[in-house]
Amino acid sequence: MEITKVYPLDAVFDNPEDVPEDIKTNKRYAGSSNWTVQEVAETVKQDFGSIDILVHSLANGPEVTKPLLETSRKGYLAAISASSGSSISLTYIASERIIPGYGGGMSSAKAALESDTRVLAFEAGRKHKVRDNTISAGLLRSRAAKAIGFIDTMIDYSLANSPLQKELSAEEVGNTAAFLASPLASAITGALIDVDNGLNAMGVGVDSPIFKDLNIPKAK
C-alpha cells in the first residue's frame, strides 16, 4: 500500500467557527491550517475529486482509564464527539458488554457509532446509494490499545477463550474492511461484522477453574 498524502485533522471541530481562540493560538496548531472536518473534506475533494471509499478508525478517549461513574462531562463528550460516523468504521464489543478498564465514555461512544451506522445506512443509502458498515475488531497489540493498561492480559484471555485460539492480526481486520469496500459486499449495509476469532460468540470464559474437569477441546 502506498500513502499518497497525509492530511492533518482535528475531528473535534466541524469547521473553523467551532475552534476556540485558545486552540487557534496553541503551539500544536501554530503554522497549520485547514485541519477542521469541513476544511479537510473540501481539500481532499479538490485534490482527488469524489471519494469512493472511506475507512474511519479514529477514536479519542482522554479519560479511557476511568470508570464511567468517575468520568468528567468534558472527557465523556470528547469521547463521543470524536468517535462516531463513517462509511466503514471500527467499533468494539464494549458497546454491548461490560469491559472493565474501557472507560471514559468510550463504550458509550462505540454504542452511538453502531447506532449511527444503522441510521446512516438508511439515510445515505436512500439519498446517495452509499453503504455504511462497521467492524467490531477483537484485541490487537496496538498503540491505542496500550492506553487501557492491561492489553496483554486481555489478549491472553482472548487466546484462552476464543473458538479459533489464535492472536488476531491487523491484516485480518484490514482484509474485512477491504471486503466491505469492494463490490463483493454490494448488498451489505447497516451491518456490524465481528472480527475477533469468534470471541463474541462465547457466553462464558472457558478458562475459568469451574470448567477444569469438562475436557473442553483446545486448538492444536
Hey, what amino acid is at 8? P
SS3 content of the chain, % helix, strand, coil (to 5): 40, 5, 50
* Set 7, 29, 76, 92: catalytic member: 92
Residues paired with 134 in a beta bridge: 89, 192
* Set 7, 29, 102, 157: catalytic member: 102
Is-catalytic flag, 29? no
What cell numbers appear for 42 in the block? 473540501
d(CA 79, CA 143): 17
E-assigned strand segments in 92-155: 133-137
Is-catalytic flag, 76? no
Hey, what amino acid is at 126? R
d(CA 133, CA 90): 9
Q: Mind telling me the catalytic residues? A: 92, 102
